[in-house]
Amino acid sequence: MPRSRDRLLTQVLNVAQMHAAEQALIAAGTDVHQLMQRAGRGAGEWVRRIAAGRPVTVLCGPGNNGGDGWVIAEYLREHGNPVTVVVAREPGTGAAKTARSLYRGAAVPGDAAVEGEVLVDCLFGSGLTRGLSDDLFELLACLARRHPHRIAIDVPSGVESDSGRPLNAGLPQSTLTIALGAWKHAHFAMPACAMMGVLRLVDIGVNEVPGAARVLARPSISVPAADAHKYRRGMLGIVAGAMPGATILASTAALRAGAGYVKLAASAAPANAPAELVVTSDLSAMLADDRLAALLVGPGFGRGDEAARILARSLHAARPSVVDADGLMLLRPAMLSGTPMVLTPHDGEMAALERAFDLPASGLRRERALALAAASKAVVVLKGPDSVIAGPEGELVVSPRASSWLSVAGTGDVLAGTIASRLAVHGDAMRAAEEGLWLHGEAARIVGSAFTAGELACAVRAAVEECL
Ligand SMILES: NC(=O)C1=CN([C@@H]2O[C@H](COP(=O)(O)OP(=O)(O)OC[C@H]3O[C@@H](n4cnc5c(N)ncnc54)[C@H](OP(=O)(O)O)[C@@H]3O)[C@@H](O)[C@H]2O)[C@H](O)CC1
Ligand SMILES: [K+]
């Protein structure tokens, strides 16, 4: 598989995939010592820059994560940075033993209460199989209290790489986490991703793994063609309910995310509707309009029988659609017609969809999203601080942790309007979901803190500008 650096920087591997990728490199002639040198020296350079001459303590465990630690320590020593290794456990692997034997600096037993500026956590990495024993947990916590800056190597010790589950309560917060070779799911899954600090990745030569998950990346959005017009850029129809707020938020975002024309089918024009929003009371005419490129169904919908009938009628129009909010609570398998579709549930709506599609509401969020995508043949955006996008063919995209300021009412309507607008532009459900989720997160970064959903919707335009 060709190795393109940008694809490397976005693939997310589970422990088994990472192990297989490392074994493939070893089989192709790179030995594990070389891999450890690449990992350790790459991470060591990050540590050296951050330490900037201040004393560094490296905590080493028994496995290859610990081996990385010995390489990092030797790298710092060679570059004249004061370093001490705390030996939590003597190395148990060949590579780690070799790395320890190459280290020429100070090493102290694991019971030492060493103080310093920077702690490098190489206790455990992706090989953690169970919670830390009391003595190891106490050692890690004690050292963390004594070092203001804490750098986790590969993953913070105590975190399960595949699930992002902390296997101990009260694990220390890291200021920086340096992933080795490829991102792991823990880097983007709650609660682990909230305790990692800034994320960095060190390339050790791992090739592209077919079918691996990817990290959501900035999309490329084209400027409208010279001969574009509002219909060619995509007309979006919004089928909304009686609650005006959700409709206004979704349409405000949709008007800024690329669609050439946004039309709302509602019994009456909501007060304060944007002037650019065309409102019609004739839903049938809108659904029958050949120029309709995509539909958004659900904002402010309500959950009664009438709403269910309108949802079924709208989806029967067989246009690329986004179903959001109450539309998700009403969605049934029989309403699906195989046209491109994006579902945008939060955890509560996800449970309702799993009931409707007879799916178990248990397991990792990414696995549940994949199961619903396979069952519904729709793209599923399972929203949250750790949003995931799952495609019907098993595609999986994980989002970097979004701003916690998004936890206000209405931001989901903004996301749905943004995705629907992108869907109206090109009709590709997976691409629309990725573009919309990225624009939503970027708009939140642009508006900064304490923003309203309305301010977020208006910032979608600036986020689009960053993709041109
Ligand atoms: N594999 C490679 O080519 C490279 C790996 N890199 C780094 O290595 C780690 C993964 O290394 P691995 O040795 O698989 O795992 P760990 O270092 O995390 O340690 C696992 C060892 O620790 C034991 N273990 C697991 N959990 C505990 C626990 N709670 N308490 C005590 N001991 C524990 C485990 O043995 P068990 O049989 O007891 O499970 C292992 O002995 C990866 O994260 C990278 O940092 C390099 O980066 C690149 C080359
Ligand atoms: K670690």
Asked if 44 contacts 59 with a C-beta cutoff of 8 angstroms, the reply is: no
CATH architecture for segment(s) 235-465: 3-Layer(aba) Sandwich (3.40)
| d(CA 281, ligand 2 centre) in Å | 59
The confidence score (pLDDT) of residue 271 equals 87
Question: What are the φ and ψ backbone dihedral angles of 428, each rounded to 5 degrees?
Answer: -100, 110
Beta strand 379-382 with 388-390 is antiparallel
Sign of the torsion formed by the C-alpha atoms of 134, 137, 140 and 143: negative
On whether 245 is known to bind a ligand per the annotation, the reply is: no
Burial of residue 88 (number of CB atoms within 10 Å: 0-12, 13-18, 19+): buried
Separation of CA 63 and ligand 1 centre (Å): 4
pLDDT of residue 241: 82
Q: For residues 104-115, give the mean pLDDT.
A: 89
Residue nearest to atom 20 of ligand 1 (CA): 127
Query: 218-221, long-range: CB within 8 Å, 24+ apart, which pairs?
Result: 218/438, 218/442, 218/466, 218/467, 219/431, 219/434, 219/435, 219/438, 219/439, 219/467, 220/467, 221/258, 221/435, 221/464, 221/467, 221/468
Q: Which ipTM score applies to this complex? A: 0.96
> If you search the block for the tokens 């019907």, which residue do you land on?
392
Q: Which whole-number Å values give the CA distances from 210 to 4, 12, 198, 230, in the listed order?
A: 13, 11, 27, 39
Question: How far apart, in whole angstroms, are the C-alpha atoms of residue 82 and residue 397?
Answer: 41
pLDDT tens per residue across span 266-294: 888 888 899 999 999 999 999 999 999 99
CB contact at 8 A, 26 and 18: no
Q: Which atom of ligand 1 is nearest to the CA of 130?
A: 29
Tokens of 133: 């024993």
* Residue 447: per-residue pLDDT: 98
Nearest CA to ligand 1 atom 36: 129
Residue-wise pLDDT tens digits, 340-362: 999 999 999 999 999 999 999 99
pLDDT tens per residue across span 185-216: 999 999 999 999 999 999 999 999 999 999 99
pLDDT at 5 over 80: no
What is the per-residue pLDDT across 406-461, written as a single tens digit (0 to 9) for each? 999 999 999 999 999 999 999 999 999 999 999 999 999 999 999 999 999 999 99
**Among 13, 60, 64, 137, which is best to mutate for testing ligand 1, by the most ligand atoms less than 8 A from CB?**
64
Edge to edge, the sheet with strand 56-60 lists 106-109, 83-87, 56-60, 118-122, 149-153, 176-180, 198-202
Q: Which helix (H) or strand (E) is 388 found in, with range?
A: strand 388-390
Contact 375, 168 (CB under 8 A): no
Q: What is the pLDDT of residue 280?
A: 95
Question: Any binding-site annotation on 154?
Answer: yes
Q: Best substitution site from 23, 58, 128, 151 to test ligand 1's pocket, by max atoms within 8 Å of Cβ?
A: 128
Task: State the distance from the centre of ligand 2 to the C-alpha of 392, rounded, in angstroms.
Answer: 34
Query: Which-ligand-closest: CA of 67?
Result: 1
Going through 156-277 in order, the beta strands assigned E by DSSP cover 176-180, 183-184, 198-202, 213-215, 235-239, 261-265
Question: Which atom from ligand 1 is nearest to the alpha carbon of 66?
Answer: 17
pLDDT of residue 186: 98
Residue position matching structure tokens 């019971």? 111
What confidence tens digit (pLDDT) does each residue in 222-252 have?
999 999 998 889 999 999 887 889 999 999 9
Predicted pLDDT of residue 267: 81
Distance 124 CA to ligand 2 centre (A): 5
Checking if the pLDDT of 2 tops 60, the result is no
Residues with CB under 6 A from ligand 1: 22, 32, 35-36, 39, 61-66, 68, 92-93, 124-133, 136, 153-154, 180-181, 204
What pLDDT does 301 receive? 87
As a whole number of angstroms, the distance between CA 248 and CA 414 comes to 9
Q: What is the pLDDT of residue 7?
A: 67
Residue 386 has pLDDT above 80, yes or no: yes
CB atoms within 10 A of CB 290: 7
- pLDDT exceeds cutoff 90 at 4: no
Q: How far is the CA of 129 from the centre of ligand 1 (A)?
A: 9
Is 412 marked within a binding site? yes
CATH H-level superfamily of 3-211: YjeF N-terminal domain (3.40.50.10260)
Query: Domain map of the chain by residue range?
Result: 3-211, 235-465
Mean model confidence pLDDT for the chain: 95
- The ligand that comes nearest to the alpha carbon of residue 64 is 1
User: 404 a known binding residue?
Assistant: no
Q: Where does 52-119 have alpha helices with state H?
A: 64-78, 94-101
Distance CA(256)–CA(442), nearest Å, equals 14
Is the pLDDT confidence value at 155 over 80? yes
Q: Do the Cβ atoms of 344 and 412 come closer than 8 Å?
A: yes
* pLDDT on residue 1: 45
pLDDT for the residue numbered 268:
81
Is it the case that residue 3 has pLDDT exceeding 60? no
The β-bridge relationship of strands 341-343 and 396-398 is unpaired
Of ligand 1's listed atoms, the one at least distance from the Cα of 18 is 1
Is pLDDT above 90 for 314?
yes
Which protein residue has the closest C-alpha to ligand 1 atom 11?
Answer: 64
Helices then strands, counting H and E runs in the chain, come out as 15, 19
65-92 pLDDT tens trace:
999 999 999 999 999 999 999 999 999 9
Residue 189 near residue 6, CB atoms below 8 Å: no
